[in-house]
Amino acid sequence: MIASALGETLSVLWGPGLVFLVVIVWLIRRVIRAARTESRLEEERLREWMKGEVAQLQSSKAEPRLMRVPPAAERERAIAAREPAPPVAVPGPDTITALPDARGNDGRAAASGIGDRTGVTETELAIVRPLFRGHGAAPPKVLWVRSTGSHIAFCERRDAPPPSTIARDVITIVKIAGGKVVRKWQFG
């Protein structure tokens, strides 16, 4: 009796269970096929985009970005050609205090008072000089200045605000376009 009841129950569930299993397998196959198709479409879109980028680089004979930094003399000529008038200065301190043992690139003391100014022209220095900060009557202490042509970075030593006694170094990076500061980032 129990065996016959169990047999009838299995025969009733066997039909719908089998249909359910077939539907699940069919759905899984459809999902896998759709994912494969989407993957191929993404790959095709990427190839088309890359073809456009390569064609643009080849047609303009453009040099890949971040490959070459022009020498300081060439940057100076480019800035002078772009902008005949000096840039408008932002109000601020006009003096720069270097470290006592600061030396220029050639081993002599730098004429501008900045210890290390690798690759920075006088025009570029004039652009960022208003950004140097001094506290109170003390002039700012600029440790170094670097330039890549489109960006200028400098490091200042700032006195510690009370109650701290530890001075901190702040690195500032500015983006230059058309002889003016376009963006500014500070760290430290």
- Render each residue's pLDDT in the chain as its tens digit; 188 residues: 677 777 777 777 777 788 888 899 999 999 999 999 999 999 999 898 888 888 777 776 655 555 567 788 888 888 777 755 555 545 444 444 444 443 444 444 344 456 677 778 888 888 888 888 765 556 678 888 988 888 899 888 887 777 777 878 888 999 988 888 889 988 87
Residue 142 lies in a domain: yes
Task: Indicate whether 158 and 86 sit together in one domain.
Answer: yes
- Its pTM stands at 0.41
* Angle, alpha carbons 78-79-80 (nearest 5°): 90
Number of structural domains found in the chain: 2
Say what the pLDDT of residue 138 is. Answer: 63
- The whole domain housing 29 covers 1-62
Domain boundary among 29, 62, 95: 62
Strand order through the sheet with 116-118: 116-118, 141-147, 151-158, 168-177, 180-187
Q: CA–CA separation, 14 vs 31, rounded Å?
A: 26
Can you state the percent helix, strand and coil of the chain, rounding each to 5? 45, 20, 40
Helix (H) or strand (E) holding 116: strand 116-118
* Angle, alpha carbons 11-15-20 (nearest 5°): 135
Residue 148 lies in a domain: yes
Contact criterion met (CB below 8 Å) for 174 and 131:
yes
Residue 67 lies in a domain: no
Residue 55 lies in a domain: yes
Domain boundary among 16, 41, 62: 62
